[in-house]
Amino acid sequence: MNTLVIDIAVLVLAGFVGYTVISKVPNTLHTPLMSGTNAIHGIVVLGGLLLMAESSGFLEKLLLVIAVAFGTINVVGGFLVTDRMLGMFKTKDRPAAKDGESKP
């Protein structure tokens, strides 16, 4: 059987499974889960950088540069979302009491 057909079938099945799994996640858990899994794109960045040394054609190099760029954007975005989300749970400093007022 042609490997292209198998690759396309795996891609389509992975898309259906991914959509089914993500659609079952409640909205309150979506941001923490996605911010964590976006950091996994570091594997894409590392793989793209390793393959860049072995690539020979212009199209290969162009696709690898695009993959590394999008992977880097996803990694940085994942960490920014996580930092913002964790910032919501930090306690805020109370304003200093004025002279003559007692602290609670």
- Both tokens assigned to 56: 């020979």
CA gap 71, 75 in Å, rounded: 6
Report the predicted TM-score, pTM, of the whole model to 2 decimal places.
Answer: 0.57
Q: Tell me the C-alpha to C-alpha distance, in Å, between residue 56 and each of 7, 21, 71.
A: 22, 37, 21
| Sign, Cα dihedral of 67, 69, 75, 80 | negative
The token pair that represents 90 in the structure block: 């930090």
Residues 6-31 pLDDT 10s: 999 999 999 999 888 878 877 777 66
DSSP state of 17: H
Residue with tokens 């200093």: 96
Q: How far apart are CA 62 and CA 97, in angstroms?
A: 60
pLDDT 10s digit of each residue in the chain, 104 long? 688 899 999 999 999 998 888 788 777 776 667 666 776 778 888 988 999 989 889 999 999 999 899 888 888 887 887 778 777 777 777 776 666 565 55
Any idea which residue has 């999008």 for tokens? 70
